[in-house]
Each structure stands twice: as structure tokens, then as C-alpha cells.
Structure 1
Amino acid sequence: MSDHLTIERDGSVATLTLNRADSHNAISLGMYRELPDLVAGVDADPGVKVLVVRGAGERAFASGADISEFQEVRGDAASAKAYNEHVAAAEHALESFSKPTVAMIHGYCIGGGFGLALACDLRFGDERSRFAITPAKLGLVYSLESTKRLVDLVGPARTKWVLYSGQQIRAERALALGVLDELYDAAELEEQTYEFCRLVTTRAQFSVRAAKQIVGRITNGQVEDDEHTTHLRNSSFDTDDYAEGVRAFLAKRSPEFTWS
């Protein structure tokens, strides 16, 4: 693991930090390359129930891809193809993470940083948050998968506004559009984000992860149950956590779930 991506764990909550505060956490090709294996390792850890993604320092989640290296690593169509594949793999690693993911956003969340945030399940920010996707300022084309994630959140017309203009979106507007799921004062963002994550760790994890799978299938066009979703629902009745949930409800106490 490089110094530019770090993983820390506090109980059942892990934190992936984009750790280049001196460059507003600009995402290098090396970071994109490293991220999938790093995330896969966290996903495989049965002790982790939620992943928070954040930027180091106080000024940015991530200011975007590291444009200073573009001439070297994205200088023509061939090198750009390889570069784009690494970006897609990094975003897919977050999107396909089997457990809940929360992007904690303060300051700039631009370009590639916005792409990583869109790949997370939820986005919590503070009033300093600023969002933009800027291919139109660089003569580039945003990927279909990344565009779809934005369309799923804000709709096609607003996605066009974002991509056509490349303009920054302030935090209050991001909340109204649905880019942000929660908006907090700067002093409260970290506390509130981790409080929510700790709450999720107390819920039945089979239920939480099944919900993530089913929502993902719906956003990809599935409208009726199939064998997989039916099995998910029916098999939940055979889990120890279902029995514990019923016992706890009847006893009027908090459940102690054990499935992980």
C-alpha cells in the first residue's frame, strides 16, 4: 500500500483515505491502479461492515485526476484507453463493494473525485463542498458508466447541465439535486458520518447487503424478482439474525446480530 492511499479500521468501520493533501488529493494513475486490490482486501475482511471514503486535509475530498501527469499517461488514444480502464476499475471496485460505502466530502469534489464519490452508496458533505465534472473544459468525454451513476441520482437533464457546463455546484444545490444525501456543518460532518456508519453496523448485515444488491439490480433495469432476489428474501428466514430480531422485538430489547 502506498502513502497516497491509506486504510484504517475503527471497530467495524474502515476508512479509505485519499492521502495527497498537498495537491488537494488529486488522483494519480498509481492510485487508480492500486485502489481495486486495496478495496478488495477490505471487502474480504469479515470484521468490516462499512467503508468510509474521504480525502486527507481540510480542503478537498479530491480535486480530480492528476492532470500534471496527463501528457505522460494519457497523451494519445492508446495510452488514454489504458488509463480509462484503470479509472473504470477503481470506480467499479467501490460500486461493487459488497458492504455499504459512504463518501465523506468536504471541499472540492471535482472530476475523478466526483467519479469515486458517485461510485459510493451514499455521499455526506458539509457546506464547504463543491462539485463539478469537467471533461468539457479539457476536451474529454465522460464514460457511460460514470454518466449513468449521475443520471441515476439527478436525472438526464440535470446531468446534461453538469456535463455541458463543467460549472461548480455548491453544497446546498448538490443536496437539492440529490448528489448529497446529507449536508452538515463543517464541524459536525465527521462525527455525523461515523455515527451513521456505526448505526449501520448494528443492523442485520444480511439484510443490509441484500438491500444493496437489490437496489443495484433495480438501477440496472430489473423490475421483477428473479431466482437470485427470491432466494435472498426467502433465505433470510433461515438466518440466526432473523430469529434474534424476532426475539429482541418481542422482548423489547436491542437485537445482537452476529451474521457478517
Structure 2
Amino acid sequence: MAVNSTPEHLLIEQFGTMRRITINNPRKKNAINQQAYRDLADQLTVADRDDGVTVLVLTGAGDFYSSGNDISALMVSDQPVEQRLESSHGALARMVKAFYSFSKLLVGVINGPAIGIAGTTAMLCDVLYMEETAYFYTPFTALGLCAEGCSSYTFPKLMGASKASEMLLLNHRMSAQEAFQFNVVAELFKREEFETKLWPRILRYGELPVGSIKATKELMKRFDLDKLEEANKRELEALAKRWQTEEAMQAVMNFMTRKSKM
């Protein structure tokens, strides 16, 4: 598999057997475009196959984990809409699968807001740590779209049906404190504690026997793989239909207009 060794919006670092991927597009609050989808999928796959990696950590540069899908990049493309959607959804499907197929320890360090696809894929990590002022926000219905990143399956399983509906249907913004209350994240940290407490702890995780981690993950079966596959497929089919509705196009244009005035 050909892999971009220097992804444009990803910073790849190795510390012993811990590899860290930092979403690094601060100008757009770490928004993820189609190429970043592909690069993330590649890097997850490479790390899973690399004997020198025991734990893979995902985080964001600066004050944001990620503002989610780079909608502006999709809207300005000169490709026909059908071609744009096919390319985008193919890259998205592959990236989401790379998350839930990862066999080693996958840790998410949510250093700031995690919005849309960034928030839904974070839930596929084995362990989440969160900065105490960060939040999860999945404004899919506000954009005229629908759930993605397997969230139609993972959110109810993680946080219960009512809270999942509030997140996915009513665009509720889940604070770090609420995420901890609902057992979505393992622990909250102040920003200044990342370097002194959190990263040294994660480095020690790299000393754990990788075979034991993989065996225990398989035994735990946190999410059913077949249900993840089904959710990913159904969501992408629904999303493709939503993107072609006037309702969604108007909602996205309204969003882009509001954003340009910020």
C-alpha cells in the first residue's frame, strides 16, 4: 500500500513504542478534508501492522481536537456533485473502518472541541482522555445531514438511547464533565496537566505486552464488528441521499454564511 510519508495535515511522531498522530490544520481548526481522511486511514493501518508500535494516540494541534469535515473544501470542488460524493464517501468509509479495525491500543486525547466526524470516530477509540473545557458536538440535523462514523450504533451503546438522541437529533453539545458523567471518557485533565501527567502515563502504556492488549481487546468486544460494518454502510448510504436534498444544501449554505461572518 502506498502511503503518504509526510501527510499535509497530520503530524506523526514516535516515542518509544507509542506513536502519536496529531491533526494539524490549525488555520481551519483542524478540519479534515478528503486527503486527510485517506491519510488517517493509511496511518492507522500502517501503525497496526508495525511491530514497533504498541499504542497509537490521536490528538489535535492547538486549541481544537478537530472541527470535523472540511465542508468548504467539498463545496468548492469543481467535480460534478455525484463524483464529489462518491470520492468523499469512499474516503470516509475507509477511514471509519480503519478506526474500528485497529487491533492494538487506540487512545484519543481530546485536547479541545471534537465536532462532527471527529467526535464520532473518537468514540471508536479504546480509551478517551479529555481536556476539561473541551466538548463533543455532532450538529448533523442542523446541517440537514445524518449520523456518521458509526454513531447511530455506538452512541446509544455508550451513553444510552435518550442522550444519544439528544446528541444526534437535537445537536446537543456534550461538555467534558457530561462526557465523564456518562462514561464516554476515562478521565479529565487541565491543559497544563497534559505534559506533566497525561503524556508520561501514555508513554508507560507503550511498555505493556502488545499481544496481551490485542487478546484482551478481542475478548472485550466493546463493539460488535458486524454491527459497526452495518452502521457504517447504512449511514453512508443515508448521507449520500441527504447531501443531494435541497434541505441539506440550504442548511449547509446557511452554515457557511454564518461561518464567514464570524
Q: Within 2, Cα distance between the matches of 1:7 and 1:192?
A: 21
Give the structure 2 partner of residue 79 of structure 1.
84
1:64 aligned partner: 68
Question: How many angstroms apart in 2 are the aligned matches of 1:2 and 1:46?
Answer: 21
Query: What residue is the counterpart of 2:200 in the other structure?
Result: 195
Shift of 1:84: 2.3
Partner of 2:111: 106
Q: In structure 2, how many angstroms separate the alpha carbons of the residues matched to 1:80 and 1:122?
A: 32
Query: Following TM superposition, by how much is the alpha carbon of 1:76 offset from its aligned partner in structure 2, in angstroms?
Result: 4.3
SS of equivalent to 2:47: helix
Give the number of equivalent residue pairs: 220
| Structure 2 equivalent of residue 47 of structure 1 | 52
TM-score by length of 2: 0.77
The residue correspondences of 1:125-164 to structure 2 (distance < 5 A) are 125-143=130-148, 145-164=150-169
Question: Counterparts of 1:100 and 1:61 in 2: how far apart (Å)?
Answer: 19
Backbone CA RMSD of aligned residues: 2.2
SS of match in other structure, 2:197? helix
Secondary structure at the residue paired with 1:143?
Answer: coil
Aligned to 1:205: 210
Tell me, yes or no, if structure 1 residue 93 matches structure 2 residue 94. Answer: no
**Alpha-carbon distance change, 10 to 158 in structure 1, aligned in 2, over 3 angstroms:** same
> What CA distance in whole angstroms lies between the structure 2 residues aligned with 1:36 and 1:182?
26
Deviation of residue 79 (structure 1)?
Answer: 3.3
**AA at the equivalent of 2:210:** Q
* Shift, 1:72, TM fit: 4.2
Q: Distance in 2 between matches of 1:104 and 1:188?
A: 12
Matches within 5 A, 1:21-32: 21-32=26-37
Contact (CA 8 Å) 1:125, 1:189: kept in 2 or not? Answer: no
- Offset of 1:88 from its aligned partner? 2.4
Q: Which has the larger radius of gyration?
A: 1
- Aligned residue for 1:242? none
Cα deviation 1:69-104 (Å, max 9, x = unaligned): 232469846633442232121122122112101111
**Is the 1:125–1:180 contact (alpha carbons within 8 Å) kept by the matching residues of 2?**
yes
Q: 1:221 to 1:104 in 2, by over 3 A?
A: closer
Which structure is higher in RCO with an 8 Å CA cutoff and minimum separation 6? 2
The separation in 2 between residues aligned to 1:158 and 1:137, in whole angstroms, is 17
Which runs of 5 or more structure 2 residues have no equivalent in the other structure? 1-5, 227-262
Tell me the secondary structure at the aligned position of residue 61 of structure 1. coil
Tell me the amino acid that sits aligned with residue 202 of structure 2. C
Alignment-mate amino acid for residue 36 of structure 2: M
> SS in structure 1 opposite 2:153?
helix
Deviation of 1:221 after TM superposition, in Å, equals 8.2
For the residue of structure 2 that corresponds to 1:219, the secondary structure is: coil
1:51 and 1:104 map into 2 onto residues whose CA distance is 11
Identical aligned pairs, as a percentage? 28
Kept in 1: contact 2:64–2:112 (CA 8 A): yes
Residue 154 (structure 1) shift: 0.7
The 1:146/1:48 distance shift into structure 2, 3 A limit, reads: same
* Gap regions ≥5 residues in structure 1: 223-260
Task: Give yes or no for contact 2:68–2:115 (8 Å, CA) kept in 1.
Answer: yes
